[in-house]
Amino acid sequence: MKKLTVNEQEELFAQDCKLINLRYEYSGFTGTEKWAIITELSEEALWDKYPDVISRYTPFILLSMAQGEVISESHRNNDKYEKRSKRTIDVYGYEDDIFEQFHPKSIAPFIDPFDKAEEEQIEEEKEKLRQLELSKVRQALSMLQPVQRERLLK
């Protein structure tokens, strides 16, 4: 069997295999492998058929065509979703409860009358306690000698 040139190996490799740059494809990838090769060939067959090409992509991860199809389908679905969301977004935001995000001043907050009455009652009780404490302080001040009261106030 005659040895193929590098150009011939590259052409045949492109027909048999698909390459994925893992660092580009998956941000935050920290593995030692930089490439994934999608093919039905085994690693030994790759080294036999395309030694000059494979040496450029070493170390690599070998994936089957089925795994490659899952990755491609995921990319197609993500692309489809992005295009659909760009086409269907409502600039005024009337759907999907995003109107409030674009127009926060248009929201009238719901005020529960029971909660409001309870808060008012709590505030009234706090004010009564404050008045009671003030009266106690005034009463204690009135019991002091004039010289003591003057020193305390100073």
pLDDT in tens, the chain (154 residues): 567 788 888 899 999 899 999 888 888 888 888 999 999 999 999 998 899 899 999 899 999 999 999 999 999 999 999 888 877 766 665 666 667 776 777 777 778 889 889 999 999 999 999 999 999 989 988 888 989 888 888 8
- Coil, helix or strand at residue 60: strand
Question: What's the predicted TM-score (pTM) here?
Answer: 0.51
CA–CA separation, 41 vs 60, rounded Å? Answer: 14
Residues 52 and 9 sit within 8 Å (Cβ to Cβ): yes
Q: Strands 60-63 and 18-21, how do they pair?
A: unpaired
Token pair recorded at residue 18: 């698909």
**pLDDT of the residue at 17:** 92
